[in-house]
Amino acid sequence: MSDFAALEKRLCTQICRGQVSHAYIFCGRNAEEQALCFAAALLCPSRPISGHVCWHCASCRHVSAASHPDCRFVDPVNGVHRADSMRRLVMEAGLSASMGVGKIFIIRAADKITEEAANTLLKLLEEPAADTTLILLCAQPDALLPTIISRCQLFMLGTDWGLEPQLSPDMLHAAEDFLQDLPRLAIYQVLIKARDFEKDREGQVLFFLCLLKILHAAVRAEIELPMGQAAALRSANMLESCLEMMDKNVNQKLLADVVYLRLWQNSQR
Ligand SMILES: [Zn+2]
């Protein structure tokens, strides 16, 4: 367990400042690993300052062995979370922690959930139990109800937004301005905007990458966009698929229209 990655810096900062939220959504490649690190760090008597979880004390060893009484995984049954298991979760969240520090529930595949179960979970998110932290793991956060997403802190972990050539600060500003103004633009103005890079395929890709970077920042709540976190995430996913298509031989003009129109639709709430 000692070769576990260190705890994500932003999570460590929250622990150090005593600003731990009652609910998180972790997505991405390192989501489960980070959830365990976070659980260990929250329950460890010597809370990490550097981001390196101790993994030596009894509490940390129990977390790593999945035997800690206050850190429980909630798995889907036959591929789906049903209402009865969410009701059990609500009941257990109401009990006091066995070891007194707090309770953590890590919900695997949280996007595989029935509507009834999601509503039960939603009640727990609206009225969080004392000393309880919920961590929802999921591959596709946009499959979650927006009402659930909006009540959790969303962390995209270990995702490799790699494809990032030098993005010019001017272009990043233009991309952010565009996303900030978007809800107020009329469709025709959006379509005119889609013509900006008509004869400049490389410029178009760079501007899309700038938009993507801003959207990811909004998903991580580092900046605020009028469309909100959930729509920013939908938009980022859409833009990523479109960027993949840009590599293939698609009609760039048509693709740009689609991107701008979808962004505009996502911005209308
Ligand atoms: Zn420890």
Q: What confidence tens digit (pLDDT) does each residue in 204-219 have?
A: 888 998 999 899 889 8
pLDDT at 59: 93
> What distance in angstroms lies between residue 43's CA and the mean position of ligand 1's atoms?
7
Judge if 35 and 70 occupy the same domain: yes
87 CA → ligand 1 middle, Å: 31
CA 47 / ligand 1 centre spacing (Å): 7
8: region left, alpha or beta (phi > 0 left; psi from -120 to 50 alpha): beta
Centroid of ligand 1 to alpha carbon of 50 (angstroms) = 13
- Whether 71 and 117 share a structural domain: yes
128 lies in the same domain as 232 = no
The domain boundary, picked from 107, 128, 156, lies at 156
Please indicate, yes or no, whether residues 37 and 146 belong to a single structural domain of this protein: yes
Task: Tell me how far the alpha carbon of residue 103 lies from the centroid of ligand 1, in angstroms.
Answer: 15
CA 256 – ligand 1 centroid, Å? 51
- CATH number where 194 lies: 1.20.120
Answer with the one of 124, 156, 188 that is the final residue of a domain: 156
Residue 161, in any domain of the structure = no
* pLDDT one-digit tens code per residue, 138-168: 886 777 887 888 888 888 776 544 444 567 8
Residue 163 lies in a domain: no
Whether residue 222 is contained in a domain is answered as yes
Could you tell me the distance, in angstroms and rounded to a whole number, from the CA of residue 48 to the centre of ligand 1?
Answer: 8
Decide if pLDDT at 47 tops 90: no
Separation of CA 52 and ligand 1 centre (Å): 10
Q: Separation of 253 CA from ligand 1 center, angstroms? A: 55
Can you name the residues that pair with 107 across neighbouring β-strands? 74, 136
Amino acid 40: pLDDT:
92
- Average pLDDT value for residue range 67-95: 95
Q: What's the gap in Å between 42 CA and the centre of ligand 1?
A: 9
251 to 12, 54, 212, 259: CA distances (angstroms): 45, 53, 20, 12
Mean pLDDT of 46-61: 81
Spacing, Cα 44 to ligand 1 middle (Å): 4
Region 236-246 average pLDDT: 84
Question: Is residue 181 included in any domain, yes or no?
Answer: yes
CA separation for the pair 189, 194 (Å, rounded): 9
Within this chain, do residues 121 and 74 fall inside the same structural domain, yes or no? yes
Q: How far is the CA of 83 from the centre of ligand 1 (A)?
A: 34
- Calculate how far, in angstroms, residue 35's C-alpha sits from the geometric centre of ligand 1: 15
Mean pLDDT of 83-97: 93
**Is the residue at 177 inside a domain?**
yes
Domain span at residue 84? 9-156
* Greatest mean pLDDT among 67-76, 151-160, 247-256: 67-76
Nearest partner of 208 among 267, 250, 167, judged by Cα: 167
- Out of 156, 179, 201, a domain closes at 156
Q: State the angle between helix axes of 252-267 and 228-247 in degrees (0 to 180), rounded to the nearest 10.
A: 170
Mean pLDDT lowest for which of 38-42, 106-110, 155-159, 261-265? 155-159
Q: Are residues 175 and 138 in the same domain?
A: no
Token duo for residue 195: 């013509």
pLDDT of residue 5: 57
* Cα 60 to middle of ligand 1, angstroms: 4
Q: Give 94 Cα–ligand 1 centroid separation in angstroms.
A: 25
Region of residue 221 (left: phi > 0; alpha: psi -120 to 50; beta: else): left
Question: How far away, in angstroms, is 136 Cα from ligand 1 center?
Answer: 23
pLDDT value of position 126: 92
Q: Could you give the number of structural domains in the chain?
A: 2
254 and 181, same structural domain? yes
Cα–ligand 1 centroid distance for 220 (angstroms): 28
Of 9-23, 28-42, 75-89, 137-151, minimum mean pLDDT range: 137-151
Tell me how far the alpha carbon of residue 128 lies from the centroid of ligand 1, in angstroms. 26
**Averaged pLDDT, 168-175:** 91
Query: Residue 236: inside a domain, yes or no?
Result: yes
Distance of CA 156 to the CA centre of its chain: 4
Token couple for 80: 């789906």
Q: From CA 41, how far away is CA 52, in angstroms rounded?
A: 9
Model confidence, pTM: 0.64
